[in-house]
Structure 1
Amino acid sequence: QTTQTWLGFVGLDFQLLPGQYSLEAIMVDIQGNVSKVQIPLLVQAKKFSTKKLWVEPRYVTPPPGVTERIRRESALLRSIFSLETHSWFGEGKFILPTQGKINFNFGERRIYNNQPRSSHSGIDIAAVTGTPVLASNSGRIVLASELYFAGKTVIIDHGLGLYTFYAHLSQIKVKRDDKVVKGEVIGLVGATGRVTGPHLHWSVRLKGSRVDPLSLLALSD
């Protein structure tokens, strides 16, 4: 909020069905008066590409001993992304978190070792192992640990239900509950977890919806 403006985000999940939707904004003034505005939204169909990848078999058919770990980690991520901090921690525009070759593969359907798996919920930035990974905006660290599929991972809560996710790191440079500023080094590019080579997987959750992280770069100050 500024003196004249309120900030809010709306995220449409990439698997939302095409069609006509209505966005409702509810405003309450200091006297408690409520007003509503409805804005029509047309969601159009988009065709996503398909890619075949080859990874270690244990990342396609996990051994029985890690099943419970995968279940716990999935539940943890759902719990994190379900929470909404009602303050905004960001400062101005978002930035790319690392330097490298950007693969515009958001929403790509993945086939690992000839077995279909879930679609790709972020983008990949190919870079040399050890390349610094930066916080794309200011926020609070809500996860800094190693996950089975994502490898060494950092998640930043920027507030208002917006989270950024940084995976496959070789090193983590922050810890849970740290406050970070935009551009601060939070880790180094690596090849941990389910990967074919060193890169940063960067993704975004906005109120639970999986949205293209590159869309953040188009936001104005």
Structure 2
Amino acid sequence: MVVQQNEKWFAVVGLPLSFRNGEHELHVVDDAGRKQAQRFTVRPKEYGVQRIALQNKRMVNPTGDDLKRIDRDSSEIQRAFAKWRELGAPPLSFDLPVEGPISGVFGTRRFFNDQERQPHNGVDLAAPLGTPIRAPADAVVIGAGDYFFNGRTVFLDHGQGLISMYNHMNRIAVTLGETVTRGQRIGDVGMTGRVTGPHLHWGVSLNNVRVDPLLFVPEELLKNLAPTK
């Protein structure tokens, strides 16, 4: 994603959780074919552990039929994250889609019924069933469906490979291809898919790499956003 600030251009690049620590080099090529290399360092970071008990055993060890559905879901989700829409000025600042405490942070190692699964690739915001979910910035709806793990889900395209995802919804209030504005209601908090209670799983992808959504939220909005005990 390329943005302009104070008459200068900046490239914003997402790095996956699995990215190797140490020295790396980013190569940039402009429209004229000129190349430039930028070195950077990835430093170690410790992530917490979250242990979750689920009554529905299929949400931990899916059946054969479940796995077929999960494969179809994964393909559809990957297509949404791979979308690219040219946009001169994609948003660098998001509003919170739901007002509620954090019940799950980005990057935690997760164990379901003591079985380790993929690290948490989003932020969970706890809120009562039916709480409005609002678009954090202007966007286009590029996906809406009901998935095995994610439940009822909406994907918003904010431009230049910046995609946001909203899982476990009770109700979807937008349609495919619809243009939404910052603050518009896109659905309601629910507990569909793999959940233990009502909440919103909010994910953000930059150039098809899952990144922490809270990196896009201004500090003043995060001050009252304390994790649940």
Q: Does 1:143 align with 2:140?
A: no
The 5 Å alignment of 1:61-210 reads 61-88=61-88, 90-91=90-91, 93-103=93-103, 105-210=105-210
Q: Offset of 1:218 from its aligned partner?
A: 4.4
CA deviation profile, 1:165-214 (whole Å, cap 9, x unmatched) = 11011110011111111111101111111011111000111111111100
Q: Offset of 1:104 from its aligned partner?
A: 5.4
Give distance in 2, aligned partners of 1:51 and 1:91. Answer: 31
Compared CA separation, residues 128 and 36, structure 1 to 2 (3 A): same
Q: Which amino acid aligns with 2:48?
A: S
* CA RMSD in angstroms, aligned pairs only: 2.0
Match of 2:226 in 1: none
CA deviation profile, 1:38-86 (whole Å, cap 9, x unmatched) = 2211101111111110122111112232221111011111222223222
Between the aligned residues of both structures, percent identity stands at 35
Q: How many residues align?
A: 215
CA deviation profile, 1:141-167 (whole Å, cap 9, x unmatched) = 111111110011011011111100110
Q: Does 1:9 align with 2:8?
A: no
Give distance in 1, aligned partners of 2:8 and 2:197. Answer: 44
What is the TM-score normalised by the length of structure 1? 0.89
Does the residue aligned with 2:34 lie in a helix, a strand or coil? Answer: strand
The 5 Å alignment of 1:14-33 reads 14-28=17-31, 33=32
Does the residue aligned with 1:159 lie in a helix, a strand or coil? Answer: coil
Match of 2:49 in 1: 50
Does the residue aligned with 1:58 lie in a helix, a strand or coil? Answer: helix
Give distance in 2, aligned partners of 1:177 and 1:5. Answer: 32
* Structure 1 unaligned residues grouped into runs of 5+: none
Give distance in 1, aligned partners of 2:146 and 2:53. Answer: 22
Match of 1:36 in 2: 35
Q: Offset of 1:6 from its aligned partner?
A: 4.2
CA deviation profile, 1:1-25 (whole Å, cap 9, x unmatched) = 6694546421111221111112233
The answer as to whether partners of 2:134 and 2:184 remain within 8 angstroms in 1 is: yes
Report runs of 4+ in structure 1 exceeding 6 Å deviation. Answer: none
Give distance in 1, aligned partners of 2:91 and 2:121. Answer: 24
Compared CA separation, residues 91 and 11, structure 1 to 2 (3 A): closer
Compared CA separation, residues 96 and 88, structure 1 to 2 (3 A): farther
Give distance in 2, aligned partners of 1:168 and 1:192. Answer: 4
